[in-house]
């Protein structure tokens, strides 16, 4: 079962002594995330933001109670860091790291699936339960506790739409960044299933982009009755040129598949309100809820 | 994605024990003559360029004698294909092909596994085969935990119609190609055609596209990265790659810089929807420093087609104060008068806005307002 977070979730930050790890540990802590430990091999015994640093997760677990991990370690070391978290039965494991080789992501996802661990990312902004806890790098000020769940492959576009949701007077329940790589831990469908059963989520904003066909598969899932709550969507890349990679390794229109038009029409066909502008997603949800 | 040339890919094929015809990369007609004489057999001479469709463009010639080989090489070395000058040739022993097969390994995004693709329709455009006769392509998903076992390879070989010794040979061939795909972090490796000959199989062609993110494991390939982009990217795009910027050239007049692929694409889409045309896509990526932002702003503003620039940054891992410092520094350094529209939101937003205000640059609250403003400033509809 997909596992997310709330204010009780106790988090370890892997790579806490790096610039990004340290900066975002501070912001997560300010938001209310319970961060009980940090791990950087070779830096055990130090402190970051008043949080004790350990050399390994095993060592951290002997002293602290921890449930979940967020990873900021550089790409060449991220697979081992994530496998260490999986082996230590932490769940979810959120991999913020950009630039992870696809081969490593394939192995990580397969090993996590064996243990039933939820992997979020790599190359993800993370996840947030608005008003309670965040395991991620999203700017806290755009979120307000509320009823809209958000799923996105992109990071910054996710903040953009979250800000519009807040602006129209709604708020967010749980929001998840899937990650921009071709292979990531979760798909839209995994999270739609979770949102369907989550009493705090009354409606969903789905944010897609060109490349692959996971938006089309989500549309089919909705059409087949797998998700029944109000849902609005935005798909980035209508102006993209086929064959050109638009930033994300996953964002490319190839051999006739993965275009924004294909995704938009599949979603509309499933009864999803698709906005032409990011602000229209929030307005559509306002009307639906 | 790092696309190796055929002769480079074949060096790795040999390293992994994949049977290939005897061959050598040459750069002069004289070397082509010498190598053909050394082989003592008819040869095929193929241009080595990082673009497809060389056969149709006349980039492949056959020669029976050393003199014919030198003559063919002379003709090929003078050619230009898709704006690229031919400088390297691969001279290879001509093999007697019984049958042409397709074999490839790539990553299947949906199942999150490697997939092996095999087809008896070798020598053809495999995407065409996939579209028109999908039943002629065998797909085998490799379980990442179990791996690819010998019997999986035999299943594939059997489905292609092989039995006995040929079945075992082809099975072993698949195993080696898969080992290469994983070992070399291939996003795609394929052989088209894979030549079935009297007593076995040979890789008559070779494609090996390596995952850029894996280059820390393949340091020897790093220097080839820029070369492999030739032909695929424009001059400005190549310049951007050298500056380590994620940039796509487009044909409009509004410069676009964003952070994050999704937001930058959405910015382009919004500008287009409001009647403007983007000159480029530039994604700063995550955690850009002020130096990087300054470099990006200078790069886009120095494009003479750019009439106005829209910088749209949502601070998460990127900080708005760093963004503002980068924009201010770039404008000072360039002395550019081109209008800049900035939208900042998120981490260190107030600090960023204050820096811009001090330097006389206005900011807008939303992407849509920013897009409207920049379209107006660029003189669009």
Q: Residue B135: how many CB atoms within 10 A of its CB?
A: 7
Same domain, B142 and B202: yes
CATH number, domain with residue B302: 3.40.50.261
Taking CB atoms and an 8 Å cutoff, what residues of chain B touch A248?
261-262
On whether any CB of chain B is under 8 Å from the CB of A137, the answer is yes
Domain assignment present for residue B370? The answer is: yes
Taking CB atoms and an 8 Å cutoff, what residues of chain A touch B367?
160, 278
Q: Do B265 and A239 touch (CB under 8 A)?
A: yes
| Omega of the bond leading into A122 within 30 degrees of 0 (cis) | yes
Taking CB atoms and an 8 Å cutoff, what residues of chain A touch B107?
102, 106, 182-183
Domain over A10-120 is classified CATH 3.40.50.720? yes
Task: Look up residue B214 and give its DSSP letter.
Answer: G
**Alpha-carbon gap, residue A4 to B134, rounded angstroms:** 39
Range of the domain at B241: 235-376
On whether any CB of chain B is under 8 Å from the CB of A147, the answer is no
Tally of structural domains, chain B: 3
Domain assignment present for residue B4? The answer is: no
Size of interface A-B (CB pairs under 8 A): 178
State yes or no: pLDDT of A222 exceeds 90: yes
Domain assignment present for residue B381? The answer is: no
- Which one of B201, B224, B247 terminates a domain? B224
The pLDDT tens digits of the residues spanning A224-279 come to 999 999 999 999 999 888 877 777 767 777 766 789 999 999 999 999 999 999 99
User: Which backbone phi and psi does B150 adopt, to 5 degrees?
Assistant: -60, -40
- Of the candidates B107, B112, B266, the beta carbon closest to that of A160 is on B266
**Alpha-carbon gap, residue A11 to A13, rounded angstroms:** 7
Beta bridge partners of A164: none
Nearest alpha carbon to residue A95 among A135, A60, A123, A114: A123
CA distance B4 to chain A (A): 18
The pLDDT tens digits of the residues spanning A186-215 come to 999 999 999 999 999 999 999 999 999 999
The pLDDT tens digits of the residues spanning B26-52 come to 999 999 999 999 999 999 999 999 888
On whether any CB of chain B is under 8 Å from the CB of A143, the answer is no
- Which one of B224, B243, B272 terminates a domain? B224
Same domain, B89 and B105: no
**Alpha-carbon gap, residue B51 to B232, rounded angstroms:** 7
Q: Which two tokens stand for residue B50?
A: 């990082």
State yes or no: pLDDT of A116 exceeds 60: yes
pLDDT of residue B127: 77
State yes or no: pLDDT of B380 exceeds 70: no
- Of the candidates B107, B264, B313, the beta carbon closest to that of A247 is on B264
Taking CB atoms and an 8 Å cutoff, what residues of chain A touch B314?
139, 156, 159-160
pLDDT of residue B303: 94
Q: Do B109 and A214 touch (CB under 8 A)?
A: yes
Taking CB atoms and an 8 Å cutoff, what residues of chain B touch A277?
270, 273, 368
pLDDT of residue B381: 45
Q: Which two tokens stand for residue A202?
A: 């009354």
CA distance A75 to chain B (A): 8
Q: Which three-class secondary structure state does DSSP give residue B176?
A: helix
Domain assignment present for residue B322? The answer is: yes
Task: Look up residue B288 and give its DSSP letter.
Answer: -
Report chain B's mean pLDDT, rounded to a whole number.
93
User: Which backbone phi and psi does A8 adopt, to 5 degrees?
Assistant: -85, -15
Give exposure, B80-91, as e/b (b: 16+ Cβ within 10 Å).
ebeeeebebbbb
Domain assignment present for residue B7? The answer is: no
- Which one of B93, B114, B141 terminates a domain? B93
Q: Which two tokens stand for residue B267?
A: 């910015």
Q: Which of residues 187-206 of A touch B (CB under 8 A)?
A: none
Residue B77, CA atoms < 13 Å, CB-side half-sphere? 19
**Cα torsion through A198, A180, A255, A216, rounded to 10:** 10
Say if residue A278 is exposed, middle or buried (CB neighbours under 10 Å; 0-12, 13-18, 19+). buried
Region of A211 please: left (phi>0), alpha (psi -120 to 50) or beta. left
Domain over A138-288 is classified CATH 3.40.50.261? yes
A10-120 and A138-288 in the same fold: yes
Nearest alpha carbon to residue A126 among A175, A194, A193: A175
The residue from B6, B190, B196, B349 that is catalytic is B190
Q: Residue B222: how many CB atoms within 10 A of its CB?
A: 12
The set of residues, in sequence order, having a beta carbon less than 8 Å from that of B244 and lying 6+ positions away, is: none
Same domain, B246 and B290: yes
**Alpha-carbon gap, residue A236 to B272, rounded angstroms:** 12
Same domain, B304 and B366: yes
Beta bridge partners of A17: none
Please, what sign has the CA dihedral across residues A39, A43, A45, A48?
A: negative
Nearest alpha carbon to residue A180 among A247, A134, A229: A247
Q: Which three-class secondary structure state does DSSP give residue B233?
A: coil
Domain assignment present for residue B30? The answer is: yes
Nearest CA in chain B to A239: B269
Q: Do B107 and A156 touch (CB under 8 A)?
A: no
Q: Do A160 and B314 touch (CB under 8 A)?
A: yes
Task: Look up residue B143 and give its DSSP letter.
Answer: P
Q: Residue A271: how many CB atoms within 10 A of its CB?
A: 11
| Omega of the bond leading into B346 within 30 degrees of 0 (cis) | no
Same domain, B239 and B220: no
Nearest CA in chain B to A278: B266
Nearest CA in chain B to A249: B1
Q: What percent of chain B has pLDDT over 70?
A: 99
Active-site residue numbers of A? 248
ipTM at complex level: 0.93
Strand ranges across the sheet with A34-39: A47-48, A51-54, A34-39, A10-14, A68-71, A93-95, A119-120
The residue from B90, B102, B162, B247 that is catalytic is B102
Q: Which two tokens stand for residue A4?
A: 């997310």
The pLDDT tens digits of the residues spanning B213-232 come to 999 999 999 888 877 787 77
Element containing residue B358 per DSSP (H, E): helix B349-358
Q: Which of residues 7-26 of A touch B (CB under 8 A)?
A: 20, 24
The pLDDT tens digits of the residues spanning A74-93 come to 999 999 999 999 999 999 99
Report chain A's mean pLDDT, rounded to a whole number.
94
CATH number, domain with residue B78: 3.30.1490.20
Helix/strand/coil (H/E/C) assignment for every residue in chain A: CCCCCCCCCEEEEECCCCHHHHHHHHHHHHHCCEEEEEECCCCCCCEECCEEEECCHHHHHHHCCCCEEEECCCHHHHHHHHHHHHHCCCCCEEECCCCCCHHHHHHHHHHHHHHCCCEECCCCCEEEECCCEEEECCCHHHCCEEEEEEEECCCHHHHHHHHHHHHCCCCEEEEEECCCCCCCCCCHHHHHHHHHHCCCCCEEEEEEECCCCHHHHHHHHHHCCCCCCCEEEEEECCCCCCCCCCCCCCCCCECCECCHHHHHHHHHHCCCEECCCHHHHHHHHHHHC
pLDDT of residue B253: 95
Active site residue B190: yes
**Alpha-carbon gap, residue B112 to A2, rounded angstroms:** 17
CA distance B97 to chain A (A): 29
User: Could you tell me the residue ranges of all domains in chain A?
Assistant: 10-120, 138-288
Average pLDDT over residues B308-334: 92
Taking CB atoms and an 8 Å cutoff, what residues of chain A touch B148?
none
| Omega of the bond leading into B233 within 30 degrees of 0 (cis) | no
Nearest alpha carbon to residue B185 among B224, B212, B219: B212
Nearest alpha carbon to residue A153 among A271, A259, A250: A250
Same domain, B355 and B312: yes
DSSP percent split of chain B into helix, strand, coil, nearest 5: 40, 25, 35
CA distance B69 to chain A (A): 36
Q: Which residue has tokens 């030739």?
A: B230
Taking CB atoms and an 8 Å cutoff, what residues of chain B touch A177?
none
């Amino acid at each position: 079962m997909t596992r997310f977070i709330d204010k009780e979730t106790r988090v370890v930050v892997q790579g806490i002594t790096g610039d990004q790890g340290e900066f975002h540990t501070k912001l997560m802590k300010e938001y209310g995330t319970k961060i009980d430990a940090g791990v950087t091999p070779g830096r055990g015994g130090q402190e970051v933001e008043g949080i004790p640093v350990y050399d390994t997760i095993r060592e951290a677990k002997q002293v602290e109670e921890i449930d979940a991990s967020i990873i900021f370690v550089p790409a060449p070391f991220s697979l081992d860091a994530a496998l260490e978290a999986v082996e230590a039965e932490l769940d979810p494991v959120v991999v913020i790291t950009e630039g992870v080789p696809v081969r490593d992501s394939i192995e990580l996802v397969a090993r996590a699936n064996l243990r039933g661990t939820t992997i979020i990312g790599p190359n993800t902004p993370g996840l947030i339960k608005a008003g309670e806890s965040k395991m991620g790098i999203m700017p806290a000020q755009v979120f307000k506790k509320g009823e809209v769940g958000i799923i996105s492959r992109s990071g910054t576009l996710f903040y953009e739409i979250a800000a519009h949701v807040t602006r129209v007077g709604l708020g967010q329940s749980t929001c998840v960044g899937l990650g921009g790589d071709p292979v990531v831990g979760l798909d839209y469908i995994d999270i739609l299933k979770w949102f369907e059963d989550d009493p705090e989520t009354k409606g969903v904003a789905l944010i897609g982009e060109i490349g692959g066909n996971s938006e089309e598969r989500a549309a089919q899932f909705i059409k087949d009755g797998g998700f029944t709550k109000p849902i609005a969507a935005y798909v980035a890349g209508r102006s993209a040129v086929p064959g050109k990679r638009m930033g994300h390794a996953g964002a490319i229109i190839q051999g006739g598949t993965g275009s924004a038009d294909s995704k938009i029409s599949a979603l509309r066909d499933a009864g999803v309100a698709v906005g032409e502008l990011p602000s229209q997603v929030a307005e559509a949800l306002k009307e639906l809820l | 994605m790092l696309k190796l040339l055929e002769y480079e890919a074949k060096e790795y094929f040999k390293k992994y024990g994949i049977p290939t015809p005897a061959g050598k990369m040459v750069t002069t007609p004289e070397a082509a003559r010498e190598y053909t004489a050394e082989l003592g057999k008819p040869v095929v001479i193929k241009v080595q360029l990082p673009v497809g469709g060389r056969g149709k463009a006349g980039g492949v010639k056959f020669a029976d004698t050393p003199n014919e080989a030198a003559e063919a090489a002379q003709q090929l070395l003078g050619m230009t294909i898709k704006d690229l000058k031919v400088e390297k040739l691969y001279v290879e022993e001509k093999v007697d092909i019984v049958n042409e097969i397709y074999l490839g390994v790539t990553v299947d995004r949906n199942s999150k596994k490697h997939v092996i693709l095999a087809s008896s329709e070798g020598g053809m455009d495999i995407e065409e085969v996939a579209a028109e006769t999908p039943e002629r392509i065998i797909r085998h998903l490799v379980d990442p935990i179990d791996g690819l076992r010998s019997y999986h390879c035999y299943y594939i070989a059997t489905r292609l119609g092989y039995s006995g010794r040929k079945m075992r040979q082809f099975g072993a061939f698949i195993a080696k190609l898969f080992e290469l795909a994983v070992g070399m972090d291939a996003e795609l490796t394929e052989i088209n055609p894979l030549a079935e000959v009297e007593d076995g199989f040979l890789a008559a062609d070779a494609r090996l596209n390596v995952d850029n993110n894996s280059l820390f494991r393949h340091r020897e390939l790093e220097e080839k990265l820029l070369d492999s982009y030739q032909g695929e990217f424009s001059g400005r795009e190549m310049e951007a790659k050298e500056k380590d910027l994620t940039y796509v050239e487009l044909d409009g007049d509004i410069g676009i810089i964003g952070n994050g692929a999704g937001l930058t694409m959405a910015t382009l889409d919004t500008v287009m929807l409001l009647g403007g045309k983007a000159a480029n896509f530039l994604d700063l990526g995550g955690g850009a420093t002020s130096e990087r932002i300054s470099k990006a702003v200078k790069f886009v503003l120095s494009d003479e087609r750019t009439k106005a620039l829209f910088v749209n940054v949502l601070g998460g891992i990127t900080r708005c104060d760093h963004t503002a410092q980068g924009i201010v520094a770039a404008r000072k350094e360039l002395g550019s008068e081109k209008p800049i529209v900035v939208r900042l939101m998120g981490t260190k937003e107030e600090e960023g806005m204050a820096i811009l205000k001090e330097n006389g640059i206005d900011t807008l609250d939303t992407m849509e307002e920013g897009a409207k403003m920049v379209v107006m400033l660029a003189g669009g509809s």
